Amino acid sequence: MKKVKIALMALILALLVAFPLFDSNLYHQQLMNQVFVNIIVVMGLNFITGLTGQMNLGTAGIFALGAYGSALTCTKLGTPVWLGFPIAIVIGFLIGRGLGYPSLRVKGVYLSLTTIGFSEVVRLILTNAIDFTGGSQGVQNIPFLNLFGFEFNTPFKIYYLYFALTIIMAIAAARIVSSKWGRVFKAIRDNSDAVEACGIDVANLKILAFTMAAVYGCIGGFLYTHMMGYINPTAFNQDLSVNYLVMMMIGGIGSVAGNILGAVMVTLLPEILRFMQNYYWLIFSIITLIFAVFLPYGIVSLFKKSERQERHFDIFHSIKKAREIWGGRIAK
Amino acid sequence: MKKVETMSAHGATTISKSWFRKITALVMALCLTFSYGCAGNSQSSDVSGSPSTANSAAEQKFDGKITIGVSAGITGSIPMAGERTLQGVKMAVEEINAKGGVLGKELVIEVADDQSNQSVVINAVNKLASNPDVVAIIGPHLSGSVMAASDTLKKAKVPFLSQGTSPKLRTIGNEYLFKIRPCDAISAEVAAKYAVEDLGAKKVGISYNNNDFGVGGKGVIEAYLTKVGVPFVSEGHNSGDKDLTGQIMKLKNENVDVVISWTDDAESALTARQFYELNLNKPVITSTATSTQQVLDLIDEKAVEGFYSVCDFVITDPSEEVQDFAKRFKEKYGIAPDQYAGNNYSVTYLIADAITRAGKADREAIREALASTKDVSGLSGTYHADSNNELIHECKLVQIKSKVPQVIKTISVDVK
C-alpha cells in the first residue's frame, strides 16, 4: 500500500514538473501559479481552523498584509525583492501574535467576528491610507522576484519557483501536522479542557497555531504580489477569506493532502466550467454544495477511514500522546 | 491495534457508510469527468453561443471567422454592466454579420467572465489572449481591472478597448490600451466648471467614493477649484456603505452652494436618497451613475429631481442614431439600453471598422488602425484617437426631470 502511494506521488510530481514544458499556454501556467499560492495559504489556515478548531475568517487580511508589506517595501524603498520573504515572515509573526491573544478570550462565533473585523480593518486602512498604500488605485509596477540576477518574469519561470516552494512548505506543514504540535492542536480542537488538565499550555499553543497560519498566509501574499505585479485593496475582501475556508472544507479539514486537493479544485473548477458561460458560477456553487453535504470532511475523507472513527480514535490518542510528551517534561 | 478494535465495534455502520461513500465518489467523479469532457469542446460551444452561427444559411457566405474577445463582469459586484455589455456587443455583431461581416469573414465573440475582481480578470484576459484567434478584446471595464490586466495584454500584444475612465490609466504607458469613454479628468472638470461658471457656486461640497474612480475624480475637481479660487469641502465614503448621514451633515453645516457627487451606482442612489431625506436642498452635479436607468430605478422621483449628471451616453439624447439604437435594443431585449450597452455596441462597430482599415485580422495591424482612428462616429460622440489612445473627447451634461435625463449641452474638449 505504501509503495503504491509513493509511486503515485512520484508520478504526480513528474507530471507537474513536465506540465509547463508540454503546455506553453500562459493562461494554464498562470492558473497553476495561482493554485500554488492558494495551496500555501490554505495549508496555513489549516493549522488554526482545521487542526486547532479556531474559526479564522481573517485570511484576506493576513494575505493582504503579506502582499502589501512586500510590495510597498520594494517599490517605496527600492530594497531587493527577495527581502520581501523575511518581511512577510516577520509580518506574519506579528499578526499571529496580535490575533492569537484575542483568541484566548473569545471563542466560536465571537472569534469569527474578531477575525472578520481584523481583515476589514486591514482592507479599509489599505483603501484609505492613500499616501502610503496608493489607496484604491493600488500599488503599480511591483517588480518580479529575482535570485542571483535571474529574474522570474514569465509564468513559466515563476511556475518552477513556486512549485518548489510549495513542495517545501507542504513537507513542512505535513511534518508539523504529525508532530507533537499537530497532535496538541487536534486535542485542543476536540477538548481543550482535557488538554489543559494534562498540564499543557493551551494559550501558548493557540498563539503558535495563529502565528503559523499568519506566516503561511503572508508568504502566500508575498508570492501573489510578485506574480501579479499590481495589487489593489478590492481583491482582499471577505469573499477571499471565505474562499480559502471553502478550499479547506472541500479538500479535507486537518489534512495537508486535503488542503492541496481543495486549493486545486476550488481554483481550477470555475475556470474549467467557463464553457458554461453565464451558468458556470451557478454550477460551481452547486458542486461545492454537493461536496459540503455529502463529504463534510472533504475529498480526502474518501481515501481515509471513516472520519468519525478517526476522530474518536484521535481524541484519546492525541491526548494520551500529548500527555506523554508534555507530561514528562512537566514532571521534571 | 486500537484502530482495529474500533473498526469491528462499528462494523455494521461502516459497511453501509462505505457503500454510500463509494456512490458519492462515483457521482462526483462523473461530474468532474463530464465537466472536463465538455471543457475540451469549449471552443465550439463558445462559438455556437455567439448569436451569429444561429443563422446557418448566412454562415455559408463567409470565408472564415474573426474572433473578438469580451471580458466582462457577468458575475461579481456589477453583473448588470456585464449583461448590458454582452447584449450591446452581440447586437452589433449580429448586425455586422447580416451586412456581410468584416473582410468577407464572419465576426464571432468569445466571452470570459472577469467577475470585476482583479485576480479573476487576469485569468479571463489570459484565457482570451491565449487563444490566437482573438484579435482584439473589449473590456475589462473597471479601471482597477485594466491596471491588473494591462501588463498581460501588453506582453500578449492584444489591443483592448476599455471603459475605464481613471486618469491614472493615462500614466501606465500601454499602447495596446484604448479608452472608449471620456477620461474622468475631462468629465470631472466639466462638472466643476459647470458648478462654478453656470451655477455660480461660492463654496463647493465634494462627496466622493474612496475607490479608484471617486478619488481620481475628486483630485481633478479639487485641482480645478483651487485654480479658480473657489473653496471646497471633501467628504469620502467607501463602496458598500449604507449610511452617509455623517458626511452629508458635514456638507450641510459647511454651507456649501453646490454639491458634486462622484461615486458608483449603488452609492449614487444612496447619496441622492439621503440628500433628500436630510433636506440638503442645493444643486447637485453627479458622475455618470445618476443618469443611468438602473440607478434611477433605485431612487424616488422627488429625491433626484433637478440633479445634473455628466455622462457620455444617454438614451434621451435626441440624436437620430441614439434614438434608433434605443428603439432596436428595446425591441430585441425588452429593456432600455444603458451606457454599457451603447458604448460597447459602438465599439464593436469601431473594431470592425479598424479591421477593415487594417485590411487583415492581425493584432498588431488592428492596434495601428485603432491608434489612427479619425472621425468615426459612435453613439457617444466621434471617435478620434489622441496620443493617449483616448477615443472620446466630449461629454454631455444632463438634468434629471421626472426621472428622465434631458441633455442640456454637449461639451467638447480639444484633441491633444
Q: Please state the ipTM of this predicted complex.
A: 0.80
Residue where the block lists cell 489570459: B126
State the nearest Cα–Cα gap between A132 and chain B, in angstroms: 15
Residues 261-280 in A contacting B (C-alpha not used; CB under 8 Å): 269, 271-278, 280
- Residue A74 near residue A143 (C-beta atoms within 8 A): yes
Closest Cβ opposite residue B122 in set A30, A135, A274 = A30
Q: By percentage, how much of chain A surpasses pLDDT 70?
A: 91
pLDDT score of A129? 84
Query: All 3 cell numbers of residue B240?
Result: 458598500
- Name the residue facing A235 among B24, B38, B117 (closest C-beta): B117
Say what the pTM is.
0.79
The pLDDT value recorded for residue B30 is 63
Query: In DSSP terms, which residues pair with B204 in a beta bridge?
Result: B232, B258
Record: contact B42-A274, CB cut-off 8 A: yes
Tell me how far apart the alpha carbons of residues B385 and B377 are, in angstroms, rounded to a whole number.
Answer: 12
- A to B CB pairs, distance under 8 Å: 132
* Dihedral, A162, A166, A172, A174 alpha carbons, nearest 10: 180
Mean pLDDT for the stretch of residues A101-124: 88
The answer to whether the CB of B289 falls within 8 A of the CB of B339 is no
pLDDT at A185: 93
Q: Are strands A146-147 and A150-151 parallel, antiparallel or unpaired?
A: antiparallel
Q: Do B126 and A235 touch (CB under 8 A)?
A: no
Residues of B within 8 A of A136 (CB-CB) are: 144, 210-212, 214-215
Report pLDDT for A234: 85
Residue A231: partners with Cβ closer than 8 Å, 6 or more residues away = A67, A68, A71, A138, A139, A142, A224, A225, B118
Q: CA B398 to CA B311: how far, in whole Å?
A: 7
Going from the C-alpha of A232 to that of each of A237, B219, B364, the distances in angstroms are: 11, 19, 30
Chain A: residue whose CA lies nearest to B83: A278
Question: How confident is the model over A47-101, as pLDDT tens digits?
Answer: 999 999 888 999 999 999 999 999 999 998 988 889 999 999 999 999 999 888 8
Q: pLDDT tens digit string along A132-171?
A: 888 877 888 889 988 888 888 888 899 999 999 999 999 9
Tens of pLDDT, residue by residue over A300-313, are: 888 775 545 555 55
Quick check: B215 and A130 CB within 8 A?
yes
On chain B, the residues whose CB falls within 8 A of the CB of A283 are 35
Rounded-to-integer distance, Cα B217 and Cα B168, Å: 11
Q: At residue A273, does pLDDT exceed 70?
A: yes
Distance CA B379, CA B369 (A): 20
Nearest Cα of chain A lies from the Cα of B321 at a distance, in angstroms, of 30
How far is A85 from A145, CA to CA, in rounded Å?
10
Task: For B312, list phi and psi in degrees, rounded to 5.
Answer: -110, -40
Structure confidence at residue B39 (pLDDT)? 45
Residue A279: per-residue pLDDT: 82
Q: Does A230 touch chain B (CB under 8 A)?
A: yes
- Taking CA atoms, what residue in A is nearest to B43? A275
pLDDT, tens only, A210-243: 999 999 999 999 999 999 888 988 889 898 999 9
Q: Which residues of A touch B46 (CB under 8 A)?
A: 275, 277
pLDDT means over runs of 10, chain B (416 residues): 41 52 65 51 39 48 89 84 92 93 92 86 90 92 87 90 85 89 86 90 91 83 92 89 89 91 89 90 89 85 90 85 92 89 93 92 93 88 88 89 88 71
Identify the H or E element spanning B349: helix B339-358
Asked if B243 and B278 touch (Cβ cutoff 8 Å), the reply is no
In this structure, what are the phi and psi dihedrals at residue B404, rounded to the nearest 5 degrees? -120, 125
- For A:78-137, CB contacts with B below 8 A are 124, 127-128, 130, 135-137
The CA distance from B89 to B340, in Å, is 10
* Separation in Å, CA of B375 to nearest CA in chain A: 32
Average pLDDT over residues A173-180: 93
pLDDT for B90 equals 94
Cell 454510500 found at? B20
Bridge partners for A150 per DSSP = A147
List chain A residues with CB under 8 Å of B130: 25-28
